[in-house]
Structure 1
Amino acid sequence: MKKIGFLSFGHWSPSPQSQTRSARDTLLQSIDLAAAAEELGADGAYFRVHHFARQLASPFPLLAAIGAKTRRIEIGTAVIDMRYENPLYMAEDAGAADLISNGRLQLGISRGSPEQVIDGWRYFGYGPDEGQSDADMARHHTDVFLNVLKGEGFAEPNPRPMFPNPPGLLRLEPHSEGLRDRIWWGSASNATAIWAAERGMNLQSSTLKEDESGEPFHVQQAKQIRRYREAWKEAGHAREPRVSVSRSIFALVNDRDRAYFGHGKDGDQIGVIDNMRAIFGRSYAAEPDRLVEELKADEAVAEADTLLLTVPNQLGVDYNAHVIEAILKHVAPALGWR
């Protein structure tokens, strides 16, 4: 059994071919797609966060709106760039959104990806300390965020407050119990996957990874997941971790599917991203029977307990609901995921 959700990058474009021509279109359609996915039986609605781009950025209003409109589906991010975040303010926003959804938030966070602008986090008022990198800053913000999510008091109360205080040091409010266990780290390397395990975060492994061995993408990713689980066990955490992988998977069940995705290229790709040699995983697009056989050979999908289907959000809610339904109906049962 696997949890199956969708991952939207939330693009919009004024192009006549786009169903999302404005930020408002993308936000409202994201809410509608989450509700439609829940109705279809999907397990998760996840969203990418990018700044300075025509894509989804500030996630918490969207997550809270989805939480208010749905009842069952998990709601998450993949991922929030921690270089841009005030971890205390973020903890308040996350706590509020989680309470609205009744504990369904699954927050993916990370060091982030290449940006639209140079050092964009500086415009947000953040910068690494002397001798530190922006990645170090992201990890520091993460440690602070994880610590305050525990709900322990740390702030000295005012002896003459406007309102009466409970005894002792004060914590951030609203606090949502259990959210600390639903934080995920988006990892592109074996080392950061181990770092996440040591800190008790779940693992999100995306469609690209540092090329550390020259092996096929899914093999390297499966090894990363196994090393993460070993590190988790060594750290002695009490609960079982969760691991997700993202894939572009399209079941070709009608002529429109074949027109959109029937001519894609198979195979991994190699590129350089932020001075790192990276390997990008292949997309899957085929008739359901062939798709089942191809996915059986994907070692990382087999290792993960959660699969996030990247969706082409600019094609509109109805078509993306069809993409999700085709996987749930024609592929997942044959693979034992349903």
Structure 2
Amino acid sequence: MKSIGFLSFGHWSAQQGSATRTAGDALLQAIDIAVGAEELGVDGAYFRVHHFARQHASPFPLLAAVGARTSRIEIGTGVIDMRYENPLYMAEDAGAADLISQGRLQLGISRGSPEQVIDGWRYFGYAPAEGESEADMARRHAQVFLQMLEGQGFAEPNPRPMFPNPPGRLRLEPFSEGLKERIWWGAGSNKTAEWAAQMGMNLQSSTLKDDENGAPFHVQQAEQIRAYRAAWAAAGHKRSPRVSVSRSIFAITNDLDRAYFGRGGKEGDSRGYIEAQRSIFGRSYADEPDKLVEQLKGDEAIAEADTLLLTIPNSLGVDYNLHALESIVTQVAPGLGWR
């Protein structure tokens, strides 16, 4: 069995052919896709976060809305860029969203990817400390966030408060028990995956990572997962971690599928540079269901992971995205032993 979720970037534009012409369209349709995905038996609804872009940006209102409209499906992010975050305010938002969903939040956080503007986090009021890189700042914010999720009191109470306080120092409210164990780190390298394990976070690995040895993407990603699990074991954590990978996978079952994806998915990995770092981008998959089963059997990283996040073309509308998800869940997953 493998947990299967979807990952939406939440694109919206007024271009011809787009079913999400406004930000409101993208948000409301995201809720509808999550509701429909739950009815199909999909396990997770995850949303990407990009600032200064016509995509999903502020995740917690959306997560709370999805949590209120559903009852079983996990809801999460992949990922929140911690360079932009006030970790205390974020802990309050996350606690509220988790309580609304009754403990279904699976929150992916990370250093983040290149953004739409130069040093966008500066506009949010954040800057690295002396001798600190922006990646260091993101990890520092993440560590404070994790500390807040422990629920320990740290703030000295006012001796004359407006409302009565419990004894001792105060923690942030609302507090949601167990949320800390449902935080994931989006790692782009083996080193950051090992750091995530040491911090006790689950691992998210996307379709992009540092090209560390020239091997195919799925092989390098599987190596990253194994390095993460070894670091987890060495850290002595008591629980078992979770690991997700993301893929673009489309089953071609009708003429509309063929029109959208009939020529895609057969290409291999691609390589390039992001912020001077040589990177590798994993291939997409698009084929008839039986052929997809054979192709996916050879993906080492999917085999290593317990959770698969399917990236969806949200701007094609609710009905098409639910059709695409249903095709994977009913016609591909069983052939791989995932269902």
Q: TM-score, normalised by structure 2?
A: 0.99
Give SS of 1:332's match. Answer: helix
Q: CA deviation at 1:196?
A: 0.1
Query: 2:311 — aligned with what?
Result: 310
Query: 2:291 — aligned with what?
Result: 290
Give SS of 2:185's match. Answer: strand
Query: 2:274 — aligned with what?
Result: 273
What does 1:3-82 align with in structure 2 at a 5 Å threshold?
3-82=3-82
- Return the alpha-carbon distance in structure 1 between the equivalents of residues 13 and 50 of structure 2: 15
Give SS of 1:194's match. Answer: helix
Asked if 1:334 is matched to 2:314, the reply is no
**What do the CA deviations read for 1:118-139 (whole angstroms, capped 9, x no partner)?**
1000000000011111101000
Query: 1:83 — aligned with what?
Result: 83
Segments of 5+ residues of structure 2 without an aligned counterpart are none
Q: CA deviation at 1:20?
A: 0.1
Query: 2:251 — aligned with what?
Result: 251
**What do the CA deviations read for 1:270-328 (whole angstroms, capped 9, x no partner)?**
01112110000000001011100000000000000000000000000000000000000
Residue 58 of structure 2 aligns with an amino acid whose one-letter code is S
Residue 168 of structure 1 aligns with an amino acid whose one-letter code is G
- Return the alpha-carbon distance in structure 1 between the equivalents of residues 65 and 47 of structure 2: 13
Query: 1:196 — aligned with what?
Result: 196
Residue 146 of structure 1 aligns with an amino acid whose one-letter code is L
Query: 1:324 — aligned with what?
Result: 325
Residue 74 of structure 2 aligns with an amino acid whose one-letter code is E
Q: CA deviation at 1:39?
A: 0.3
**What do the CA deviations read for 1:169-201 (whole angstroms, capped 9, x no partner)?**
100000000000000000010000000000000
- Return the alpha-carbon distance in structure 1 between the equivalents of residues 218 and 336 of structure 2: 17
Q: CA deviation at 1:155?
A: 0.5
Query: 1:116 — aligned with what?
Result: 116
- Return the alpha-carbon distance in structure 2 between the equivalents of residues 17 and 295 of structure 1: 30
- Return the alpha-carbon distance in structure 1 between the equivalents of residues 272 and 147 of structure 2: 36
The 4+ residue runs of structure 1 with deviation greater than 2 A are: none
Q: CA deviation at 1:16?
A: 1.9
- Return the alpha-carbon distance in structure 1 between the equivalents of residues 291 and 328 of structure 2: 13
Give SS of 1:293's match. Answer: helix
Q: CA deviation at 1:98?
A: 0.2
- Return the alpha-carbon distance in structure 1 between the equivalents of residues 232 and 220 of structure 2: 18
- Return the alpha-carbon distance in structure 2 between the equivalents of residues 237 and 191 of structure 1: 18
Asked if 1:93 is matched to 2:112, the reply is no
What does 1:100-179 align with in structure 2 at a 5 Å threshold?
100-179=100-179
Give SS of 2:65's match. Answer: helix
Q: CA deviation at 1:226?
A: 0.4
Pairs aligned (count): 338
Segments of 5+ residues of structure 1 without an aligned counterpart are none
Residue 60 of structure 2 aligns with an amino acid whose one-letter code is F
Give SS of 2:108's match. Answer: strand
Q: CA deviation at 1:266?
A: 1.4
What does 1:206-285 align with in structure 2 at a 5 Å threshold?
206-264=206-264, 265-285=266-286
- Return the alpha-carbon distance in structure 2 between the equivalents of residues 271 and 31 of structure 1: 35
- Return the alpha-carbon distance in structure 1 between the equivalents of residues 275 and 160 of structure 2: 51
- Return the alpha-carbon distance in structure 1 between the equivalents of residues 50 and 209 of structure 2: 19
Query: 2:184 — aligned with what?
Result: 184
Residue 282 of structure 2 aligns with an amino acid whose one-letter code is G
- Return the alpha-carbon distance in structure 1 between the equivalents of residues 30 and 45 of structure 2: 9
- Return the alpha-carbon distance in structure 2 between the equivalents of residues 314 and 15 of structure 1: 10
Q: CA deviation at 1:233?
A: 0.4
Residue 187 of structure 2 aligns with an amino acid whose one-letter code is S
Query: 2:302 — aligned with what?
Result: 301
- Return the alpha-carbon distance in structure 2 between the equivalents of residues 276 and 11 of structure 1: 26
- Return the alpha-carbon distance in structure 2 between the equivalents of residues 117 and 20 of structure 1: 23
- Return the alpha-carbon distance in structure 2 between the equivalents of residues 260 and 148 of structure 1: 45
